[in-house]
């Protein structure tokens, strides 16, 4: 008995419980309880496919107001596609009542500011380290409030993401109120109208001194959106056109009926890093087009 106790003590010394990695079951949406600094209390869920690619890509999929990680997991096809292509999906979950994202505070709109945006960036770092992910193939997407956060992530952590897709959002910085999880009616109603230069300055203030590459942006919006008015499409295109040095006022290619009726593709129009899809008669929100996302991310041809 004494010998058995000694052996158990030795094993525990070799594998201390405090340093044990959390067990994450494959092909199951799993909460991650300790992914790093998380001053905002943002929740992390992860989906790891049964067959993981070598150096897998990582997609961050961000839910809408009133949504949850579970709802976005069920309501979008990214997890099923992960099984096909071997990438990992991170599903963050907002810690606030109503589950909108904090895209309005100074902290959230600042690189390493310690808010939701910082927590999501730390989720990416955890995932890349845990699964040997490809740092050059990290992507972010989201719907409504999640689209707002997608724009914010692209502005505050451009070194983390290679590409983004935005479904019915507003420009990064447009929702600023100076409060955590605030609501900006002026922005939501499409009344925050600025020049490309002004929007560019807004983005650059979120990460002062950064002059490296920025994620290419895919923008979706509906013309009948009465929650985040369609003028926000134009302002978002102006923002990223300014960042990339394009001219939003002079598209050189317009493809009506692409990818389906009612949609018009303004694709490879402003430049190779910015494409837009404007959907006539579509309200809030534009349905997720994951096939276009994966093409944009370079996961599929």
Tokens 């009344």 label which residue? 191
Question: Strand locations in the chain, DSSP E?
Answer: 30-32, 43-47, 58-62, 88-93, 138-143, 163-167, 216-222, 255-256, 263-271, 274-279
Q: Decide if 225 contacts 168 (C-beta within 8 A).
A: yes
Token pair, residue 15, equals 């594998």
Tell me how far apart the alpha carbons of residues 73 and 248 are, in angstroms, rounded to a whole number.
34
Residue of 94, 104, 105, 144 with catalytic role: 144
Between vectors from CA 15 to CA 9 and to CA 19, what angle results, nearest 5°?
A: 130
Token pair, residue 173, equals 């910085």
Token pair, residue 192, equals 């925050």
Q: Is 144 a catalytic site residue?
A: yes
- Residue positions annotated with a catalytic role: 144
């Amino acid at each position: 008995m004494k010998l058995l106790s000694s052996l158990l003590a030795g094993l525990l010394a070799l594998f201390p419980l405090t340093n044990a990695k959390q067990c994450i079951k494959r092909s199951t949406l799993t909460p991650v309880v300790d992914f790093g600094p998380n001053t905002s209390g943002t929740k992390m869920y992860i989906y790891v496919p049964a067959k993981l690619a070598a150096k897998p890509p990582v997609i961050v999929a961000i839910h809408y107001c009133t949504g949850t990680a579970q709802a976005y997991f069920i309501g979008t096809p990214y997890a099923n596609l992960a099984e096909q292509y071997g990438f990992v999906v991170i599903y963050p979950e907002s810690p606030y009542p109503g589950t909108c994202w904090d895209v309005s505070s100074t902290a959230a709109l600042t690189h390493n500011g310690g808010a939701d945006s910082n927590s999501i960036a730390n989720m990416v770092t955890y995932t890349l380290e845990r699964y040997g992910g490809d740092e050059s193939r990290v992507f972010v997407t989201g719907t409504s409030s999640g689209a707002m956060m997608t724009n914010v992530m692209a502005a505050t952590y451009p070194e983390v993401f290679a590409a983004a897709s935005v479904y019915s959002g507003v420009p990064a910085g447009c929702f600023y109120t100076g409060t955590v999880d605030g609501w900006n009616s002026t922005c939501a109603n499409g009344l925050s109208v600025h020049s490309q230069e002004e929007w560019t300055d807004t983005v650059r203030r979120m990460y002062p001194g950064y002059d490296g590459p920025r994620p290419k942006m895919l923008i979706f919006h509906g013309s009948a959106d009465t929650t985040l008015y369609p003028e926000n499409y134009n302002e978002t295109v102006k923002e990223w056109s300014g960042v990339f040095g394009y001219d939003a006022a002079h598209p050189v290619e317009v493809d009506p009926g692409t990818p389906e009726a009612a949609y018009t593709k303004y694709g490879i129009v402003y430049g190779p890093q910015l494409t837009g899809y404007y959907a006539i008669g579509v309200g809030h929100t534009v349905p997720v087009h994951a096939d276009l996302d994966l093409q944009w991310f370079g996961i599929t041809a």
